[in-house]
């Protein structure tokens, strides 16, 4: 069956009627991307852009991420964290995808402007969490402020597909996750290995004020079961 037919069948099965994500339909001209206007749309804006990106790298490094690790950045956007991940990881070890085509265009530009082309990151636009084309597995994955913008049916589709991208023992980090249910994890062969609350993370250091900190948490570290 063709990929678009599979995607359509999955949409029908899970009752999906609209693209997933708060930022899916945002579009930017080349001029707007050059001005980095997208930074005004994501939480925290320009002022905390670098700090909030650095938080994601610091978190995963504290949880074992090494330059030799492979990472799937789910909803990578215009690389707020991706630039930091790409710089840290060995060449070829970063794979980012997003629904928003303009964000991927901005991400490609960011790679060039930050001198990271030699790191050979993979950046693709995907719809409906259709991950069959990725054709590789990863040691780490992160969905930071992504699934909280999705409907329950879109989350179910995500968990039905994400397992194929995770190596045995891989770690998946999901933020803004008050909605998380054990039934979601079973679809992907995942278990909770750590749950982080507001008092476990120094979010103020990275530009989150107390009201926003309560939205980021709980933040979960999930692990792919072996075998």
Please tell me the chain's helix, strand, coil percentages from 3-state DSSP, rounded to the nearest 5. Answer: 40, 20, 40
Whole-structure pTM value: 0.86
- CATH number of the structural domain spanning residue 79: 3.40.50.150
Domain range for 142 is 3-224
Q: Strand 190-196 and strand 219-224: pairing?
A: antiparallel
- For 39-57, b/e burial (b = at least 16 CB within 10 A) is beebebeeebbeebbbbbb
CA–CA distance, 168 with 163 (Å, rounded to integer): 9
What is the residue-level pLDDT of the chain in tens, covering all 227 positions?
A: 333 333 344 334 334 344 455 566 677 777 877 777 777 777 777 878 799 999 999 999 999 999 999 999 999 999 999 999 999 999 999 999 999 999 999 999 999 999 999 999 999 999 889 898 899 999 999 999 999 999 999 999 999 999 999 999 999 999 999 999 888 899 899 999 999 999 999 999 999 999 899 999 999 999 998 76
Q: In the chain, how many domains are there?
A: 1
CA–CA distance, 201 with 133 (Å, rounded to integer): 35
């Amino acid at each position: 069956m063709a990929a678009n037919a599979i995607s359509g069948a999955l949409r029908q099965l899970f009752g999906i009627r609209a693209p997933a994500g708060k930022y899916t339909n945002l579009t930017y001209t080349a001029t707007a991307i050059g001005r980095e206007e997208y930074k005004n749309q994501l939480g925290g804006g320009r002022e905390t852009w670098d700090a909030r990106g650095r938080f994601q790298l610091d978190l995963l490094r504290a949880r074992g991420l090494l330059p030799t690790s492979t990472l799937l950045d789910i909803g990578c956007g215009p690389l707020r964290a991706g630039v930091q991940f790409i710089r840290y990881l060995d060449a070829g070890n970063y794979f980012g995808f997003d629904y928003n085509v303009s964000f991927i265009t901005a991400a490609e530009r960011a790679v060039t402007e930050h001198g990271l082309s030699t790191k050979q990151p993979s950046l693709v636009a995907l719809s409906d969490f259709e991950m069959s084309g990725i054709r590789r597995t990863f040691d780490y994955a992160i969905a930071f402020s992504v699934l909280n913008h999705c409907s329950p049916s879109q989350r179910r589709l995500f968990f039905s597909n994400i397992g194929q991208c995770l190596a045995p023992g891989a770690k998946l980090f999901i933020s803004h996750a008050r909605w998380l249910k054990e039934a979601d994890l079973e679809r992907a062969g995942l278990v909770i290995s750590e749950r982080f609350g507001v008092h476990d993370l120094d979010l103020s250091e990275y530009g989150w004020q107390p009201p926003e900190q309560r939205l980021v948490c709980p933040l979960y570290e999930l692990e792919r079961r072996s075998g």
